[in-house]
Amino acid sequence: MIISEFIVADEPENEAERLALVIAYELGSGNLPPDAQLQALIAETVARFQMPIVQVSIITADEQRFRAGTGLEAASTPRSVSFCGHAILGAAPLIVEDTLIDLRFAGNPLVVGRPNLRFYAGAPLIAGEGLALGSLCVMDIVPRAFSSGDAEELVVLAAAVMARLVALRP
């Protein structure tokens, strides 16, 4: 579906099961306390990739909630404009080196308005059930290159984030 010159991500085929797991982990709530270990993983990700924006993003039925991170003031965005909504559709990281030349994102409000994103890389947060709950993403306001080695490292960090989310599961 195309809305205002950007493409809204489709829902995964297993959306009902994925959303049930987001609820079971209590990740869609805006009332989650900060977690020092998640913030340490964010700091490690910032140091590794030298990105100004790093987020643990959880995709709920209608929004993208930021569980931990740095570089954004918002606690959430509508799912319809989320990059992470696209990232949860596959097992491999989603890499967009220049948002202005990718038709999925060129007209996205997060690209053409604040925070003016020009680079995005997100590795899905895949639970043991094989369902992607969200992503660990790195973003910048300038285009960037991202190597296959970078993508592999992002996947390792995303697995560590997912392990922490499992440990925090009620």
Q: Are 58 and 30 in contact (CB under 8 A)?
A: no
**pLDDT digits 0-9 by tens, 32-44:** 678 899 999 999 9
**CATH code, 10-168:** 3.30.450.40
**What angle, 0 to 180 degrees and rounded to 10, lies between the N-to-C axes of helices 148-168 and 36-49?**
180
Per-residue pLDDT band for 68 (boundaries 50, 70, 90) equals very high
Per-residue pLDDT at 160: 97
Using H for helix, E for strand and C for coil, what is the string for 101-135? HCCCCCCCHHHHCCCCCCEEEEEEEECCCCCEEEE
Residue 42 burial class via C-beta count within 10 angstroms: exposed 0-12, middle 13-18, buried 19 and up: buried
Local confidence band at 30 (pLDDT 50, 70, 90 cut-offs): low
Where exactly are the structural domains of the chain? 10-168
- CA R_g for the chain: 15
Paired with 22 in beta bridges are: none
Average of pLDDT values for 94-120? 95
On whether the pTM is more than 0.85, the answer is yes
Q: What's the pLDDT at 1? A: 40
Q: Is the pLDDT of residue 3 over 50?
A: no
**Cα distances (angstroms) measured from residue 87 to each of 72, 74, 77, 91, 112:** 19, 19, 15, 8, 20
Q: What is the pLDDT of residue 111?
A: 95
